[in-house]
Amino acid sequence: MPATLRNREAILAVLQDVVPRQGMLLEIASGSGEHAAFMAPQLAPLVWQPSDYEAENLPSIDAYAADSAAANIRPAVRLDVTQQPWPVSACDALLCCNMIHIAPWAAAEGLFAGAAAIMAAKDAPLILYGPFRRHGAHTAPSNAAFDDSLKSRNAEWGVRCLDTEVVPLAQRAGFALDRVIEMPANNLTVIFRKA
């Protein structure tokens, strides 16, 4: 996917600063698996566990991992964030790129509920990447147009508001907002920490 290729260097730079050197990172909504294949080798010995809701994405994730020859990518698992408990029982960091706006709000709720259940360590990072509204407003005309197109595809989808929707949800689940990092193309990386 072109967007996945464009943003991967910028996301990796954030991860290199934020994730632990060892342990396991769970990637939610890995999609094609291109992020895992590019980023995981550069974060070793941290182990990368890819996952996705769509069973048909799992072979693609595993194929990208095999092509990368990375030794630290586990076989992809099917994980629907709305179905508790998750099939992964623990992780030291969690990454979720471009999911909560392309899914019903129940996916954001499931994401934080599931993460709270499997992330034990205080300050463990939960990292979201994607477009967000700020204080109820879009940050760019292109994001407003994207929001309209999402809603025309599915009325339950849409660009979420970081301040009035996502942060309160995270706090209710036991995650504190750590940092908001502006990314290319009007996206944000948002770092939450287990409280």
The binding site for ligand SAM (CB under 6 A) comprises 1, 4, 28-31, 35, 52-54, 57, 79-82, 97-99, 102-103, 107
Note whether 118 and 91 are within 8 A (CB): yes
Toward ligand SAM, which CB reaches closer, 135 or 152? 152
Toward ligand SAM, which CB reaches closer, 85 or 195? 85
Report, in Å, the least distance between residue 178 CB and ligand SAM. Answer: 21
Report, in Å, the least distance between residue 162 CB and ligand SAM. Answer: 17
Beta-strand relationship, 175-183 and 125-130: unpaired
Residue with CB nearest ligand SAM?
31
Report, in Å, the least distance between residue 26 CB and ligand SAM. Answer: 11
Toward ligand SAM, which CB reaches closer, 78 or 134? 78
Helix, strand, or coil here: 191? strand
Report, in Å, the least distance between residue 122 CB and ligand SAM. Answer: 26
- The 3-state secondary structure of 50-90 reads CEECCHHHHHHHHHHHHHHCCCCECCCEECCCCCCCCCCCC
- Rounded CA-CA distance 33/47 in Å is 15
